[in-house]
Amino acid sequence: MKTPLPHRDTFKTHDPDEARAVVAHAFCGHNLRVVDGALNMRTQSAALPHLSLHFLDYGAEVQINPEPLTSFYLLQIPLNGAARASARGIEVVSDPSTATLLDPEDRVAMQWSSGAPHLCLRVDRKTLETKAARLLGRTLRDPLKFDLGVPMTTPEARSMRHYLDLLQTELDAERSLASRSVMAGQLEDLVMTSLLLSAPNTYSSWLEEDGGTATPRCVRKAVELIEAHAHEPLVVEDIAEAVGVSVRALQSGFRRHMGSSPMAYLRDVRFELVHKDLIAADPSEGVSVTQLALARGFTHLSRFAQAYRERYGESPSDTLRS
């Protein structure tokens, strides 16, 4: 089976002790027992500051008993085959249509069948809890806990898997924008938000609620903030927190009073600014489209150029030369 991170180094071993040590370094201490077949472990990993993506295949049927994860959540998606996980008196049989999500305090017993490679997403606990609180617009009264089983066939889960595929592509690329802190933060935001909205958890019902609508005054404050900080790596949670409302209330308020979303408005502001910059710049002084676009918060330059042409009827370089 082709690995999901073909440009990343692959660690291989037939030694159970070596396999245990490598996986413990990536996740946590655990007991590993080969139940059937000969161990032929392969693993790959790639990381951003607050989450990491891992490919793990033991090549044999194995039993795994990890210590509590403590500081992170772990989403495990079988790419083939099946696995069993037991925790909190519940047993889940997982396959490509059903993932498992381990909570930091869980005591888990797992058994992976032979031919059951997994894609695993490790997410920092504090960062995900902070993300949940910002989406809700309030502090978490109870611990953030997920259902052990995560259906991967719902529309929300398919969207989440789409963002995981994007993360996988960016982390595997040899020269990726994910290496830039601005882009890394946006990728993390997409993946963590989609996980919170798609995987059943303690706060799912609250996250699904509309959360009211931000007042015109809050929307005006948000507009002022966006216009003053458009060049910074803003995400919608930053804006909502700054004006004291939930993300959903801010989005609803923008739709009602601005006919747009906060991020669409931010994008419009950035385009207006970079358009003015390109008109005012002198290319003979060595100013480039790339410099100006990055300075205004655009990180995906090919998409920027395409959207700019659609908006202004010419390429950014044409505007710069005019």
pLDDT tens digits along 79-121? 999 999 999 999 999 999 999 999 999 999 999 999 999 999 9
Residue range 2-39, pLDDT digits in tens = 788 888 999 999 999 999 999 999 999 999 999 999 99
pLDDT at position 214, please? Answer: 82
Asked if pLDDT for residue 74 goes beyond 60, the answer is: yes
Does the global pTM surpass 0.75? no
Residue range 180-214, pLDDT digits in tens = 666 788 899 999 999 999 999 998 877 876 556 78
Distance of alpha carbon 281 from alpha carbon 285, whole angstroms: 8
pLDDT at position 210, please? Answer: 54
Asked if pLDDT for residue 175 goes beyond 70, the answer is: no
Residue range 218-257, pLDDT digits in tens = 899 999 999 999 988 888 888 988 888 888 889 889 998 9
Cβ atoms within 10 Å, residue 25: 10
**Residue 307: partners with Cβ closer than 8 Å, 6 or more residues away:** 271
pLDDT at position 241, please? Answer: 83
Residue range 118-170, pLDDT digits in tens = 999 999 999 999 999 888 877 888 899 999 999 999 999 999 999 999 999 99
pLDDT at position 179, please? Answer: 64
Asked if pLDDT for residue 283 goes beyond 90, the answer is: no
pLDDT at position 248, please? Answer: 83
Sort 126 into a burial class: Cβ within 10 Å, 0-12 / 13-18 / 19+: exposed
pLDDT at position 178, please? Answer: 61
Secondary structure in 3-state letters for 205-264: HHHHCCCCCCCHHHHHHHHHHHHHCCCCCCCHHHHHHHHCCCHHHHHHHHHHHHCCCHHH
Q: If pLDDT is split at 50, 70 and 90, which confidence band does 62 have? A: very high
